Amino acid sequence: MIRHSPLRALGRLLAYVIYTLPLMPVQAVAVFFKWPLAVRLPLAYHRRCAGLLGFELRMHGTLSTARPTLFVCNHATYLDIVTLGATLPASFVAKSEVAGWPFFGLLARLQRSVFVDRRPRSTAGQRDAMQTRLESGDNLILFPEGTSSDGIRVLPFKSALFSVAEREVNGSPLVVQPVSVAYSAIDGLPTGRAHMPRIAWYGDMGMAGHIWTVLGLGRISVDIVLHSPTSFAEFANRRDMAAACHGTVAGGVERALAGRFTGG
pLDDT in tens, 71-80: 999 999 999 9
Phi/psi at 253 (nearest 5 deg)? -65, -45
Q: What is the DSSP letter of 253?
A: H
Q: Terminus-to-terminus CA distance in the chain, angstroms? A: 31
Q: d(Cα 162, Cα 160) in Å, to the nearest integer? A: 5
Query: Could you tell me which of 145, 126, 123, 122 has the C-alpha nearest to residue 134?
Result: 126
Q: What is the pLDDT of residue 261?
A: 65
Per-residue pLDDT band at 128 (split at 50, 70, 90): confident
pLDDT of residue 121: 64
* Domains, in order of start, for the chain: 6-257 (3.40.1130)
pTM for the predicted model, two decimal places: 0.94
| Helix ranges, the chain (H) | 6-33, 37-52, 80-85, 104-110, 123-135, 192-195, 207-215, 238-257
Instruction: Please check the confidence at residue 146 and state whether its pLDDT lies above 70.
Output: yes
